[in-house]
Chain A
Amino acid sequence: MPIDLDLQQLRHGTTLLKRGFARMQKGGVVMDVTDAVQARIAEEAGAVAVMALERVPADIRRDGGVARMADPSKIAEIVDAVTIPVMAKCRIGHFAEAQILQELGVDMIDESEVLTPADPFHHVNKEGFTVPFVCGARDLGEALRRIHEGAAMIRTKGEAGTGNVIEAVRHQRAISGEIRGLAVLSREERSNRARQLEAPVELVHEVAKLQRLPVVNFAAGGIATPADAALLMQLGVDGVFVGSGIFKSADPAVRAKAIVEATTHFDDPKVLAKVSTGLGEAMRGIEIERIPADERLQERGW
């Protein structure tokens, strides 16, 4: 029905609306999709959002070359296919790609290390956008720098496209450990800590008090099974991104649904055992040590 409200005159893009959108994703699974058919499979499985891509990270890794924002026609195809929010990736620091994604109606922009960085010094100034951003982080300092730039959601970087959960676990443990460590510091000590973290001292005080990040914190990078999702949820993340793990597996629809249920019932081993059963083959996966240091995506970003 037609809306009798002048939407132009309303307050859009406030911090509350950006962080609030991210909060509505909590306890959910965001799935990478590359076309309308995959997007509908993800929606049907219970995804809280889809990430619209031309290639999943495993293929980006395999193909090499410069990875950029997806073609707008690809994003439009996926936006039209589903009723749930659509996210899309821009290169680190590429604010023009971000402007295009906002124009296309994308609900959240992932400024992502999975794509080839565009700016060797800066990330996108996210305050200037109406739509919220999610950014990757490996530790507390990186997370706080991104939040200071306006990120409404943080996710672990993990090591995308590997189907190997170890890096996501490393990053989540680093972030939560560093947050716990702030609790015992005096106010003066936190000022020093802020300098070490290369993060604003106000944010360090806020995190010390909250004992969590002031924005939603998801796990990403290498999650391939329901048990992987449950592991990260038990380590304190608010939800998960699954990239290559679903559509590089033998039976994506069944695996996607199982990961959704495992993310909800992450602390109930009975449910986890049930949903983990008979899913067919998971994606093959890569040992992190086999990836040369300069090909590790998590090293991108500053």
Chain B
Amino acid sequence: MQVGVIALQGAVSEHQRALDGALEALGRSGTVITIRTLEQLREVDAAVLPGGESTTIGKLLQKFGLARELIRRCEEGMPLLGTCAGAILMAKEGDGQVERTRTPLLQLMDIAVDRNAFGRQRESFQLPVDVRGWATPFPGVFIRAPLITRVWGRAEALALMGGGVVFARQGHLLASAFHPELSDDLRVHQLLVSMV
């Protein structure tokens, strides 16, 4: 199989490393590529939309028809994991910050997000996350993190924190407010790869 990280801006190599690890842990053979073109986006069986700045990645996705193609691939059933900024971009609804910056959302998941919900960088934090059905907590790394404030329709909450949702799933789509690629725990990436 071929999995890819959308490499417009943000923590790309960290997700590549985690995907490599997840493939190995699951005993699946496959390659991990970076995605910057339509051709690359058409080649992968699963993808990650990484953390970075949602205002930046959102704008760059609009170039060269990448956003349209990503939506089409997800409608076809391609598994996609969005972390932090990636989770914001996958949401149907954003907050005032998203509206004010006219950040174009992909609107893939029935979730609403609150950007920088916990504050600025000095308020960034580490806290274990209890994920539904997982035996042990996941090491959560929250950097200027968003919070999923509402989940409806086909989306379901997989982990709760701070009066909101920090990990959500809608079929083959995953959105996390935290950064699994910055921890050594591969379970989030394994979940993505196992959906292929």
Which residues of A pack against B, CB within 8 Å? 1-5, 7, 10-14, 16-17, 20-21, 23-28, 43-44, 46-49, 83-85, 102, 105, 107-108, 130-132, 260-261, 264-265, 268
CA distance A280 to B149 in the complex (A): 44
Main secondary structure of the interface of A (DSSP, over half): loop
CA distance A46 to B7 in the complex (A): 15
Contact B162 A5 (CB under 8 A): yes
Residue of A nearest to B8 (CB): A264
Contact B56 A26 (CB under 8 A): no
Contact of B121 among A2, A16, A108, A268 (CB under 8 A): A108
Residue of A nearest to B63 (CB): A261
The answer to whether the Cβ of B115 comes within 8 Å of any Cβ in the partner chain is: yes
Contact A21 B52 (CB under 8 A): no
Tell me, rounded to whole Å, the shortest Cβ–Cβ distance linking B138 to chain A.
14
Neighbouring A residues of B162 by C-beta, 8 Å: 3-5
The answer to whether the Cβ of B169 comes within 8 Å of any Cβ in the partner chain is: no
Could you mark each residue 171-196 of chain B with 1 if its beta carbon is under 8 Å from any beta carbon of chain A, else 0? 00000000100100000000000000
Neighbouring B residues of A1 by C-beta, 8 Å: 114, 117, 147, 149, 163-164
CA distance A264 to B7 in the complex (A): 8
- Which 5 pairs across A and B sit closest by C-beta, in order of nearness? A4-B163, A5-B162, A10-B125, A107-B121, A27-B9
Neighbouring B residues of A2 by C-beta, 8 Å: 163
Could you mark each residue 107-131 of chain B with 1 if its beta carbon is under 8 Å from any beta carbon of chain A, else 0? 0000000111111111111110000
Contact A26 B9 (CB under 8 A): yes
CA distance A47 to B55 in the complex (A): 8
Contact B118 A46 (CB under 8 A): no
Q: What are 15 of the A-B contact pairs (CB < 8 Å)?
A: A1-B114, A1-B149, A3-B118, A20-B124, A21-B121, A23-B10, A23-B14, A27-B52, A28-B9, A44-B101, A85-B53, A107-B144, A131-B122, A261-B60, A265-B36
Contact of B126 among A16, A25, A46, A130 (CB under 8 A): A16
Neighbouring B residues of A26 by C-beta, 8 Å: 9-13, 52
Contact B127 A10 (CB under 8 A): yes
Most A CB within 10 A of own CB, among B51, B114, B125, B164: B125
| CB-CB under 8 A for A264 and B9, given A17-B141, A43-B55 | yes
CA distance A270 to B137 in the complex (A): 46
| CB-CB under 8 A for A47 and B56, given A16-B126, A83-B115 | yes
Could you mark each residue 133-167 of chain B with 1 if its beta carbon is under 8 Å from any beta carbon of chain A, else 0? 00000000101100101000000000001111000
Contact B143 A5 (CB under 8 A): no
Tell me, rounded to whole Å, the shortest Cβ–Cβ distance linking A170 to chain B.
25
A-contacting residues, B81-114, CB 8 Å: 84-85, 97, 100-101, 114
Tell me, rounded to whole Å, the shortest Cβ–Cβ distance linking A245 to chain B.
18
